[in-house]
C-alpha cells in the first residue's frame, strides 16, 4: 500500500489572529511527519495547488473560510468531484458552516442557547427579539461567521440605536440573535475536544474583565479544570448524534443549572488546544490512523 499523500489545511494569515494556531499546526505537522506520514501544509484557497495529488485533506485551520464562503463551498465541491477524502466529511462541514444548524438542534429539543433566526433581507424587530429571548441584553451575530466577526452585545437601547446598521448588514447575509449569557463572564465557556468520537480533553475559557468574547486574541484566558461529569456526558451525546465519522469535534457550551447548554458545535476549523493536554497530539494521530484504516465513504 502506498503512503497516502495528506494535505494539512491552513489559511493565508492576514494578521487577524495571533500565532497560537500556527504553533499548534506546526507541532501537529512535525509529529505526523515523524510518524512517517506524508503531510504537506497547504493554504485551502491557493489556486496553484493540484488537489488531485492528495489522497486526504485534513481541515485544520481554514480560519478565513467564513470571509470567502462561496469560494469555500466551491473548493469543497472541487474536492468532492476529484473524490479526495476530506476530514471532517464534506457533508457535515457544509452543514456546520451555517449557524442555522443551531435552530435545527433547538427544534429537536437539544439544550441550545435560545436562538432567533434573522433571515437575509429582513429587518431586525428589536421589541420582538427581546420579547422572544426574554433577556435584558442580546448577542447578534452572522449566521456564517467566526472569530466574533460582526458580533454585537446589545441592551435594548443599544439595539434600537444600532438597528439601522444591523439592518444594513442583514441585507447582505442572515444573522441570529441569542440572549446574553452572563455565566460566560462569571463561569466561563467550556470546550470539549473529541477525536473519532472519543473524549480527549477539555478547557475552560474566560473573557477578560469587561468583555464577553472568550477568544484568546481578544484577551481571553484558558484554564484546564476537570470538567463536571454531567457536562462531559452532555457534550459526548451531541458528538454521537451530530458528528458521526468526524476525526475531530469541539463542543463549546456554558453550564446552566448543571447542564451543558450548547453555544457552538465546531466541526470545521476549531483550535484544538492540544498543548493544554499531555498526549493530545498522540490521540489525534491514533484517531487519524483509525480513519485511514477505514474505507472512504462513497
**Helix 20-34, helix 280-292: angle, nearest 10:** 60
Check: CATH 3.30.1490.20 for 114-179?
yes
Q: What is 5-96's CATH topology?
A: Rossmann fold (3.40.50)
User: What per-residue confidence (pLDDT) applies to 215?
Assistant: 53
Give the residue among 234, 113, 106 at the shortest CA–CA distance from 182.
113
pLDDT, tens digit (0-9, with 9 covering 90-100), for 132-189: 999 999 999 999 987 667 889 999 999 999 999 999 999 999 999 999 998 888 889 9
- Measured over the CA atoms of residue 87, residue 69, residue 75 and residue 18, the dihedral's sign is negative
pTM here is 0.91
183-285 has the same fold as 5-96: no
Give the residue ranges of the chain where pLDDT is below 70.
1, 14-20, 147-148, 207-220, 296-298
Q: C-alpha cell of 187?
A: 463561569
46: number of Cβ within 10 Å: 11
Strand ranges in the chain using DSSP code E only, listed in sequence order:
5-10, 38-43, 56-59, 85-87, 116-118, 137-142, 152-155, 175-179, 189-195, 198-206, 221-223, 248-256, 259-266
The domain ranges of the chain are 5-96, 114-179, 183-285
Give, as one character, the DSSP assignment of residue 112: B
- 26-to-29, 108, 232 alpha-carbon distances in Å: 5, 39, 29
Beta-carbon contacts of residue 288 (< 8 Å; ≥ 6 apart)? 32, 37, 58, 87, 247
Domain 183-285 has CATH 3.30.470.20: yes
Amino acid at each position: 500500500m502506498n503512503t497516502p499523500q495528506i494535505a494539512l489545511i491552513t489559511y493565508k494569515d492576514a494578521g487577524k489572529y495571533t500565532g497560537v494556531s500556527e504553533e499548534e499546526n506546526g507541532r501537529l505537522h512535525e509529529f505526523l511527519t515523524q510518524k512517517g506520514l506524508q503531510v504537506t501544509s497547504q493554504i485551502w484557497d491557493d489556486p496553484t495547488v493540484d488537489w488531485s495529488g492528495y489522497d486526504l485533506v485534513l481541515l485544520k485551520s481554514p480560519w478565513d473560510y467564513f470571509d470567502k464562503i462561496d469560494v469555500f463551498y466551491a473548493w469543497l465541491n472541487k474536492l468532492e468531484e476529484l473524490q479526495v477524502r476530506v476530514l471532517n466529511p464534506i457533508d457535515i462541514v457544509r452543514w456546520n458552516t451555517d449557524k442555522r444548524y443551531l435552530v435545527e438542534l433547538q427544534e429537536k429539543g437539544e439544550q441550545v442557547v435560545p436562538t432567533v433566526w434573522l433571515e437575509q433581507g429582513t429587518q431586525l424587530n428589536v421589541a420582538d427579539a427581546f420579547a422572544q429571548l426574554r433577556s435584558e441584553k442580546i448577542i447578534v451575530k452572522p449566521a456564517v461567521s467566526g472569530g466574533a466577526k460582526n458580533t454585537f452585545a446589545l441592551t435594548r437601547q443599544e439595539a434600537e440605536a444600532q438597528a439601522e446598521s444591523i439592518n444594513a448588514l442583514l441585507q447582505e447575509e442572515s444573522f441570529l440573535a441569542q440572549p446574553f449569557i452572563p455565566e460566560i463572564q462569571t463561569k466561563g465557556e467550556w470546550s470539549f475536544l473529541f477525536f473519532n468520537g472519543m473524549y480527549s480533553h477539555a478547557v475552560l475559557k474566560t473573557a477578560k474583565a469587561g468583555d464577553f468574547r472568550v477568544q484568546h486574541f481578544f484577551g481571553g484566558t484558558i484554564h484546564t479544570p476537570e470538567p463536571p461529569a454531567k457536562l462531559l456526558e452532555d457534550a459526548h451525546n451531541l458528538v454521537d448524534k451530530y458528528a458521526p465519522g468526524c476525526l475531530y469535534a469541539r463542543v463549546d457550551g456554558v453550564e446552566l443549572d448543571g447542564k451543558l447548554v450548547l453555544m457552538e458545535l465546531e466541526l470545521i476549523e476549531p483550535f484544538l488546544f492540544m498543548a493544554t493536554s499531555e498526549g493530545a497530539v498522540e490521540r489525534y494521530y491514533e484517531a487519524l490512523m483509525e480513519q485511514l484504516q477505514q474505507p472512504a465513504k462513497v
